[in-house]
């Protein structure tokens, strides 16, 4: 299913095509250097597919930049469709390990990723991409045809039910954030099939590569890898609105899978008006270093896990708002999505301070009657992560059908269709 011969290939000789080919090579080289591309086969695919054909109107340099391109927004300006950043597309396709001749389904259509999948599947493969939005599907269809990938099927449908008429699939790649895993996605996988999906879990989004496993224990999905990512959200039957608590008139927000597990906004605001307690861990990280496993490690440990976003820089810590009079402002480790823990008697979050060599040391800042104890516990779990988890394998994530027996695991998150079990390797932590 590689591209039809035509003027968009690498041998085309117009100045624009030659410049585009050079930019494709530069993008592939960058993705290899950054570790997003790890196999020669995928590198060649990135050097082949003309991304600029899927981003019409953008200058070539922007079309081949490592950044997301939003192609549609809702009335509030929230993105509803995009051509994802090349690095996350490469990571997910490496996770998918697309077999030559594979029967493939993409859920969420931008066009470019389907073309990459078509190159990987080859002339004996079959690629179908489905999107709920007719405008997005029409755009993908036109871009694929213009780039020479007319054999890719583009279907307008809600993917909650998969695509039974084309099943079974060797690979299903989901390119929108999913809060849940509908039964059809598992059931329409081939016996040795793989699902790669940006899964929302305890407020965290990870691209999880699930293999279908069916044995005496049951028919389930078992993870092979999980990588940090971000995507536009699922629409249709699988849509799930974010749950968050907004504090102090919008200065802060707390994101969680289920805000019912957190104290009320009023209680949290009261905790944040108490004196601040600070503890440090001696754990040092580079700011650009991926902390993929740390948030999930903390989410496993603390029922009140959430993520703190500071909506206004430096806010809030003036007398009469949060913090005791004269207290320093809140200093979360990240501007958006800092790991935090909320209990009825304390609120704590990760903080960081710079070191001379450019790294930062991780610590905790906490408020409330039990602030010292919660800060110490949070720092202790960061230290345990550094000692036992930071350089080791991440957890195994298993998706059990909702009607299966309750799994025993370090963490179980209940969705509508599945129970997600998170298990860390034994003998550590």
DSSP 387: I
Beta partners for 254?
245, 308
Angle at 207 between CA 206 and CA 208, to 5 degrees: 100
From the list 373, 346, 363, the residue with the least C-alpha distance to 267 is: 346
Q: How far apart are CA 5 and CA 200, in angstroms?
A: 40
Name the strand (E) or helix (H) holding 305.
strand 305-310
CB atoms within 10 A of CB 54: 26
Residues 6+ apart with CB under 8 A from 182: 160, 161, 162, 237, 238, 417
For residues 339 and 302, what is the distance between their CA atoms, to the nearest angstrom?
11
**Which three-class secondary structure state does DSSP give residue 378?**
helix
CA distances to 203, 295, 310, 397 from 226, in Å: 15, 13, 27, 9
Q: What residues does 338 pair with on adjacent strands?
A: 308
Task: Identify the CA nearest to 86 among candidates 121, 136, 41, 51.
Answer: 51
- Helix (H), strand (E) at residue 391: none
Q: At what angle do helices 112-121 and 86-96 cross, to 10 degrees?
A: 30
Q: Which of 81, 84, 207, 253 is catalytic?
A: 84
Contact 383, 389 (CB under 8 A): no
* Strand ranges across the sheet with 169-174: 153-156, 126-131, 103-107, 169-174, 189-201, 204-215, 218-228, 396-401, 418-423, 411-414
**In this structure, what token pair is assigned to residue 245?**
């608590």
Cross-strand partners of 127: 104
- For 391, other C-beta atoms within 10 Å of its C-beta total 8
Tell me if residue 76 is catalytic.
no
CB count within 10 Å of CB 135 equals 13
Q: How far is 35 from 196, CA to CA, in rounded Å? A: 18
Give the residue numbers marked as catalytic: 84
């Amino acid at each position: 299913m590689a591209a039809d011969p035509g003027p968009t290939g690498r041998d085309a000789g117009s100045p624009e095509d030659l410049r585009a080919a050079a930019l494709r090579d530069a993008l592939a080289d960058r993705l290899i250097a950054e570790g997003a591309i790890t196999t020669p086969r995928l590198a060649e695919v990135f050097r082949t597919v003309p991304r600029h054909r899927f981003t019409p109107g953008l200058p070539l340099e922007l079309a081949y930049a490592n950044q997301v391109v939003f192609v549609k927004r809702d009335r509030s300006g929230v993105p509803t469709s995009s051509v994802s950043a090349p690095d996350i597309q490469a990571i997910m396709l490496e996770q998918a390990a697309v077999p030559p001749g594979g029967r493939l389904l993409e859920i969420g259509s931008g066009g470019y990723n389907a073309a990459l999948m078509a190159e990987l599947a080859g002339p004996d493969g079959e690629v179908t991409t489905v999107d709920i939005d007719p405008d997005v599907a029409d755009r993908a269809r036109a871009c694929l045809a213009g780039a020479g990938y007319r054999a890719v099927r583009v279907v307008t449908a809600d993917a909650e039910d998969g695509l039974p008429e084309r099943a079974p699939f060797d690979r299903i790649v989901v390119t929108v954030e999913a809060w849940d895993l509908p039964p059809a996605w598992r059931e329409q996988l081939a016996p040795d099939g793989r699902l790669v999906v940006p899964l929302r879990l305890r407020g965290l989004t990870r691209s999880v590569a699930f293999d279908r496993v069916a044995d005496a224990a049951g028919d389930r999905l078992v993870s092979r890898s999980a990588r940090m990512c971000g995507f536009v959200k699922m629409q249709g039957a699988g849509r799930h609105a974010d749950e968050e608590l907004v504090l102090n008139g919008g200065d802060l927000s707390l994101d969680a899978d289920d805000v019912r597990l957190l104290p009320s906004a009023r209680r949290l605001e009261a905790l944040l008006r108490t004196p601040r307690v600070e503890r440090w861990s001696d754990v040092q990280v580079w700011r650009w270093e991926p902390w993929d496993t740390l948030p999930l490690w903390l989410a496993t440990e603390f029922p009140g896990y959430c993520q703190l976003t500071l909506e206004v820089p430096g806010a809030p810590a003036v007398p009469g708002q949060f913090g005791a009079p004269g207290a320093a402002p809140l200093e979360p480790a990240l501007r958006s999505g800092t790991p935090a823990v909320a209990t009825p008697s304390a609120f704590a979050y990760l903080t960081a301070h710079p070191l001379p060599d450019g790294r930062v040391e991780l610590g905790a800042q906490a408020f409330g009657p039990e602030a010292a104890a919660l800060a110490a516990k949070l720092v202790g779990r960061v230290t345990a992560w550094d000692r036992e988890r930071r350089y080791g394998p991440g957890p195994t994530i298993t998706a059990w059908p909702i009607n299966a027996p309750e799994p025993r695991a370090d963490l179980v998150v209940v969705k509508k269709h599945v129970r997600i079990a998170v298990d860390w390797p034994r003998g550590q932590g």
